[in-house]
């Protein structure tokens, strides 16, 4: 079976040489030399400062909310993302409040934000879905007007610059997942980029159980450390980023060329780079989506409905308003695999299935 994501394994000998080094040093975790090297190299590669590697993307989101040090507050977020975008808010005992998405970009629509702001609101937490940059300027302006923090979930956007600067450099904090299925990964892992220098210094202590010096615990902390094996994987991946990027770009361009007249493609933010992380296609209705999904499955391709369920329906959020756009897109979207070799077959199956269906509908 061919799945939507395929884990990239970097050069084996290179990885082995890092593992040999770990055996020699005996240093497996606790802010080791490889984590420090990876943080420095990522800062240089992405052109950002104050980047901290953490143990996962979910952890990075929860970590961001912990750093806010607020209680009994609300966070305005998107209903259309991976579940962690919202579960992290709830897990930190904050209340997620949903602003519905735009039907073309699939990102939180800034027009829906302001009416949700009240005395309890402490932050806005959008996600750059499928690596498509949010309306950052508009969101930041709303946050500034109401004195709110902005926490961006940039988990899909490792390859994206917005207005000439890497997307992780926006907001008060931005987080990213380095899960094995992502374009850049550390097996499990993630990172946070923190705008404020003092908060960044504090975050380093929070990440290490609140321990700021030998025999000194200065604040409430957690264990959010990335380990040395994960960092070794990250260092290997970073060396091959241009290869990964080129391969994905080629596949993305192929799909765009073949499919744009048959299905709805995500409308990208013109001020940002095209991300090559995912390839979502949206059909006219759920029935069409389902037929294509079945036809692909029969050929051994497991295309998937991202992001279903729409997050306003989660059992632990109390959302009284229906997020219509999010539910609608979630019901008729498929993310298709983008690895070399599968593209022509997937594109042909989609086109054939739709052509057969639509001809049949016209005839009947
Ligand atoms: C948008 C988004 N946010 C957060 C996460 C959570 O990241 P992790 O799996 O590293 O915990 C993911 C993971 O897929 C994601 O896609």
Q: Would you say the CB of residue 62 lies under 6 angstroms from ligand 1? A: no
Q: Where among 206, 239, 272 does a domain terminate?
A: 239
| Mutational test site, ligand 1, from 4, 56, 57, max ligand atoms within 8 Å of CB | 57
Same domain membership, residue 125 and residue 104? yes
Pick from 239, 274, 294: which residue ends a domain? Answer: 239
pLDDT tens across 26-44, in order? 999 999 999 999 999 999 9
> CA separation (Å) from 152 to 80, 131, 276, 326?
14, 12, 19, 18
The reply to whether 200 and 332 lie within a common domain is no
- List the one residue out of 295, 299, 293, 276 whose CA is nearest residue 331: 293
My answer on whether 64 and 183 are in the same domain is: yes
pLDDT-derived band at 1 (thresholds 50, 70, 90) equals confident
Q: Determine phi and psi for 289, rounding to 5 degrees.
A: -55, -45
151 with 65: CB under 8 angstroms?
A: yes
User: What's the whole-number average pLDDT of the chain?
Assistant: 96
Query: Which helix (DSSP H) or strand (DSSP E) does residue 40 occupy?
Result: helix 33-46
pLDDT > 70 in the chain, percent: 100
Banded model confidence at residue 25, pLDDT cuts 50, 70, 90 = very high
Band (6; pLDDT cuts 50, 70, 90):
confident
Ligand 1 binding pocket includes 107 (Cβ within 6 Å): no
Say whether both 296 and 349 belong to one domain: yes
Q: Is the pLDDT of residue 121 over 80?
A: yes
Give mean pLDDT, residues 308-329. Answer: 96
Q: Whole domain around residue 38: which residue ranges?
A: 2-239
pLDDT in tens, 156-167: 999 999 999 999
Residues 311 and 298 occupy one common structural domain: yes
Peptide bond before 20: cis, by omega within 30 degrees of 0?
Answer: no
CA distance 166 to 160: 6
Q: Is the pLDDT of residue 269 over 80?
A: yes
Instruction: State if residue 174 touches ligand 1 by the CB under 6 angstroms criterion.
Output: no
**340 has pLDDT over 80:** no
In a shared domain, residues 297 and 311:
yes
Let me know whether 171 and 256 are in one domain: no
Question: Cα 102–106–111 angle (5° rounding)?
Answer: 30
Is 143 in the same domain as 207? yes
CATH classification of the domain holding 302: 3.90.1150.10
Q: Active-site residue among 40, 120, 144, 182? A: 182
**Residue whose C-alpha is closest to residue 4's, from 256, 243, 280:** 280
* Separation of CA 195 and ligand 1 centre (Å): 21
Any ligand 1 atom below 6 A from CB of 153: yes
Whole-number Å distance, alpha carbon 181 to ligand 1 midpoint, is 10
Q: What is the pLDDT of residue 57?
A: 98
CATH no. for residue 63?
3.40.640.10
Residue 87 beta carbon below 6 angstroms from any ligand 1 atom: no
pLDDT over threshold 80, residue 316: yes
Residue 146 has pLDDT above 90, yes or no: yes
Q: State how many domains the chain has.
A: 2
Show which of 239, 267, 287 is a domain's final residue: 239
CB-based contact 134:107 (threshold 8 Å): yes
Q: Is 155 in the pocket of ligand 1 (CB under 6 A)?
A: yes
- Which residue's C-alpha comes closest to atom 14 of ligand 1? 82
Lowest mean pLDDT of 80-94, 315-329, 330-344, name the range: 330-344
Residue 249, pLDDT > 90, answer yes
Which neighbouring-strand residues pair with 191? 53, 176
**CA 332 – CA 287 distance, rounded (Å):** 8
pLDDT at 168 over 80: yes
Q: Are 173 and 53 members of one domain?
A: yes
Closest CA to 288 of 267, 309, 263, 324: 263
Question: How far is Cα 44 from Cα 103, in angstroms, rounded to an integer?
Answer: 35
Whether residues 213 and 120 fall in one domain: yes
179 Cα–ligand 1 center, Å: 7
Q: Residue 305 C-alpha to ligand 1 middle, in angstroms?
A: 16
Q: Is 179 in the pocket of ligand 1 (CB under 6 A)?
A: yes
Tell me whether residue 204 is one of the annotated catalytic residues: no
Task: Quote the ligand 1 centre to 82 CA distance (angstroms).
Answer: 6
Burial of 320 (0-12, 13-18, 19+ CB in 10 A): exposed
Percent of the chain with pLDDT over 90: 92
- Pair of tokens at residue 41: 């190299």
Which of 133, 121, 172 lies closest to 150 in space, CA to CA? Answer: 172
Half-sphere exposure at residue 78, Cβ-oriented, CA atoms within 13 angstroms: 32
Rounded mean pLDDT of 51-74? 97
For the chain, give the number of residues.
Answer: 364
**pLDDT at position 356:** 86
Atom number in ligand 1 closest to CA 181: 14
3-state helix, strand, coil in the chain (%, to 5): 45, 15, 40
My answer on whether 73 and 189 are in the same domain is: yes
Q: How many CA atoms lie within 13 A of 23 on its CB side?
A: 6
Split at pLDDT 50, 70, 90, the class of 187 is very high
Tell me, what's the pLDDT at 259?
93
Angle between helices 57-68 and 197-207 (to 10 degrees): 120
Pair (160, 228) in one structural domain: yes
């Amino acid at each position: 079976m061919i799945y939507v994501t395929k884990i990239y394994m970097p050069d084996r000998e290179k990885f082995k040489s890092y593992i040999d080094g770990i055996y020699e040093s005996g240093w497996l975790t606790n802010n080791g030399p490889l984590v420090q090297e990876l943080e420095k190299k990522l800062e240089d590669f992405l052109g950002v400062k104050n980047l901290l590697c953490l143990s996962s993307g979910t952890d990075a989101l929860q970590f961001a909310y912990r750093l806010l040090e607020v209680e009994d507050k609300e966070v305005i977020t998107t209903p259309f993302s991976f579940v962690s975008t919202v579960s992290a808010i709830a897990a930190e005992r904050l209340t997620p409040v949903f602003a519905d998405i735009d039907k073309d970009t699939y990102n939180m629509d800034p027009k829906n934000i302001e009416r949700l702001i009240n005395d309890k609101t402490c932050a806005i937490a959008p996600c750059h879905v499928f690596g498509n940059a949010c309306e950052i300027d508009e969101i930041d302006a709303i946050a500034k007007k109401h004195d709110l923090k902005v926490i961006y979930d940039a988990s899909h956007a490792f390859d994206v610059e917005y207005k000439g600067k890497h997307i992780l450099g926006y907001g008060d904090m931005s987080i990213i997942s380095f899960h094995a299925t992502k374009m850049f990964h550390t097996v499990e892992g993630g990172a946070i980029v923190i705008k404020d220098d003092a908060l960044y210094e504090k975050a380093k202590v929070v990440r290490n159980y609140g321990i700021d010096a030998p025999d000194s615990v200065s604040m409430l902390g957690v264990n959010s450390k990335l380990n040395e094996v994960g960092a070794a994987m990250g260092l290997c991946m970073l060396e091959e980023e241009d290869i990964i990027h080129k391969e994905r770009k080629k596949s993305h361009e192929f799909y765009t060329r073949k499919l744009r007249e048959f299905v709805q493609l995500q409308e990208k933010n013109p001020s940002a780079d095209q991300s090559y992380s995912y390839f979502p296609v949206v059909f006219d209705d759920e029935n069409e989506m389902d037929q294509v999904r079945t036809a692909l499955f029969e050929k051994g391709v497991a295309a998937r409905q991202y992001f279903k369920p729409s997050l306003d329906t989660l059992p632990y959020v109390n959302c009284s308003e229906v997020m219509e756009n999010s539910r609608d897109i979630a019901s008729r979207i498929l993310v298709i695999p983008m690895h070399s070799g599968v593209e022509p077959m997937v594109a042909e199956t989609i086109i054939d299935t739709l052509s057969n269906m639509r001809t049949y509908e016209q005839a009947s």
